[in-house]
């Protein structure tokens, strides 16, 4: 038996629902084609008090077609998205609960807010129609751990289960903590990922007041560009099945990539702004590389956090340079948020899926909308067009309000 310390963890299943598509194939094809998910705001009424011009929403989604009428009514939109992505990941992986393994399969999800749409809808019902009109499923639709609990019920997984809420690092932290549990021998396989549906008047207003949202009409968000002016909210979910190499081989699963490292740090600097020079992010990158036994020379591609805000993009660039040294200028660095928007607690998981696909297809997705890099953004951001490349190691960066930093390292098997 392999010791817990040396347990290898591999990815065997992927699932996606994004502003680009309702599954992995359509989402990835659109990402490689540089297709933006930016479109009109239809989730709430825009007034002249808002500056935002559009969002990156999931389009033409009918939850009843995926879940049936009964289940769709009992799940918040973020839980519906999670269920769609989970089904894809489980189907690809072929992982099934049995009496012999169900207690060794866990569920770790990430989300920043949880059932926001239900919270807003049920609050309006109370105020306009009275307390007796609230849904009896309202609480389970609101609670952040609802998606993980429902996934465990849907598939009969009885191992460790948790929901991580480290803001925009949550999806990556969920994958990282699931990785940790397998490495420690507390589980043999984990269903993990993140989901978020943050597009609402209150969140947009809050981000605008914080000076974080772009107010451009098109060609936005524009990570690393000199004229970047903020993020664009997006929505979606990304899910992965990860398991020990031995477990995957024993059941004949197809191995997509290996998860080899995870770095997690806290800035302890400011509730929204990154630490000066990206110091906390740099430590997380180094931790992920050290655990994986990798050097900067081994890194081929970085899926950046790349939000399109002035502070994040500068700090992330500084962190990459501080950690990788001269290799920072060799490595391709791109922000898929330039197309998906910022999917908050789901984004690290969605971008983990993109990272695995980059290894699978040996291609770097582009950063669109990048016309001229900012003076403090001087790396190779793979502008405009996807780029075929030899990719053996990918880093996935995710940073969140509260000073949370999470970095995952994936490798070709």
Residues annotated as part of the active site? 168, 305, 342
Cα 166-216-317 angle, rounded to 5 deg: 50
Phi, psi of 266 (to 5 degrees): -130, 135
Cross-strand partners of 303: 334, 396
Per DSSP, 234 falls in state: B
Query: Cα(349)–Cα(301) distance, rounded to whole angstroms?
Result: 17
The answer to whether 93 and 241 have CB atoms below 8 angstroms apart is yes
Query: Cα(319)–Cα(339) distance, rounded to whole angstroms?
Result: 23
The answer to whether 111 and 173 have CB atoms below 8 angstroms apart is no
Q: Considering only CA atoms, which of 215, 235, 198, 200 is closest in space to residue 309?
A: 215
DSSP strand pairing (55-56 vs 301-303): unpaired
Query: Cα(413)–Cα(408) distance, rounded to whole angstroms?
Result: 16
CB contact set of 374 (below 8 Å; sequence gap of 6+) = 224, 225, 226, 228, 310, 313, 314
Packing angle of the helix pair 77-93, 116-129 (nearest 10 deg): 150
What single string gives the DSSP state of each residue in 303-366?
A: E----S-HHHHHHHHHHHHHHHGGGGGTSEEE-THHHH-B-GGGHHHHHHHHHHHHHHHTEEPP
- Find the radius of gyration of the CA atoms of the chain: 20
Query: Cα(306)–Cα(377) distance, rounded to whole angstroms?
Result: 11
Q: Count CB-CB contacts under 10 A for residue 385.
A: 13
What is the rounded (10 degree) CA torsion for 62, 65, 66, 70?
100
């Amino acid at each position: 038996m392999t010791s817990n310390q040396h347990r290898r963890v591999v990815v065997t299943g992927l699932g996606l629902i994004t502003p680009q598509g309702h599954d992995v194939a359509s989402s990835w094809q659109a990402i490689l084609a540089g297709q933006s998910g930016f479109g009109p705001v239809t989730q709430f009424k825009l007034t002249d008090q808002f500056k935002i011009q559009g969002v990156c929403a999931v389009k033409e989604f009918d939850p009843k077609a995926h879940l049936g009428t009964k289940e769709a009514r009992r799940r918040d939109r973020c839980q519906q998205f999670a269920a769609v992505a989970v089904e894809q990941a489980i189907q690809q992986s072929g992982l099934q609960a049995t009496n012999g393994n169900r207690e060794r399969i866990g569920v770790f999800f990430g989300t920043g807010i949880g059932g926001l749409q239900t919270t807003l809808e049920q609050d309006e019902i109370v105020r306009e129609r009275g307390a007796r009109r609230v849904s009896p499923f309202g609480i389970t639709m609101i609670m952040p751990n609802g998606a993980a609990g429902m996934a465990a019920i849907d598939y009969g997984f009885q191992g460790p289960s948790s929901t991580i809420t480290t803001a925009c690092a949550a999806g990556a932290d969920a994958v990282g903590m699931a990785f940790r549990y397998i490495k420690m021998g507390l589980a043999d396989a984990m269903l993990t990922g993140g989901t978020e549906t943050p597009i609402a008047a209150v969140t947009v207003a809050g981000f605008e007041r914080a000076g974080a949202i772009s107010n451009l009409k098109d060609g936005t968000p524009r990570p690393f560009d000199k004229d970047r002016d903020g993020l664009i909210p997006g929505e979606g979910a990304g899910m992965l099945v990860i398991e020990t190499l031995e477990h995957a081989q024993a059941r004949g699963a197809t191995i997509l990539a290996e998860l080899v490292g995870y770095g997690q740090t806290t800035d302890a600097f400011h509730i929204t702004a990154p630490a000066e020079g990206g110091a906390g992010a740099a430590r997380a990158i180094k931790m992920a590389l050290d655990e994986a036994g990798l050097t900067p020379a081994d890194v081929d591609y970085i899926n950046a956090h790349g939000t399109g805000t002035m502070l994040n993009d500068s700090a992330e660039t500084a962190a990459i340079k501080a950690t990788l040294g001269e290799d920072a200028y060799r490595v391709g660095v791109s922000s898929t948020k330039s197309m998906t928007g910022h999917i908050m607690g789901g984004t690290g998981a969605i971008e983990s899926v993109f990272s695995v696909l980059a290894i699978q297809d040996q291609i770097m997705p582009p950063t669109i909308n990048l016309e001229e890099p900012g003076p403090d953004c001087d790396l190779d951001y793979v502008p405009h067009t996807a780029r075929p490349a030899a990719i053996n190691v990918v880093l996935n960066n995710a940073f969140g309000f509260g000073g949370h930093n999470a970095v995952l390292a994936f490798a070709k098997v």
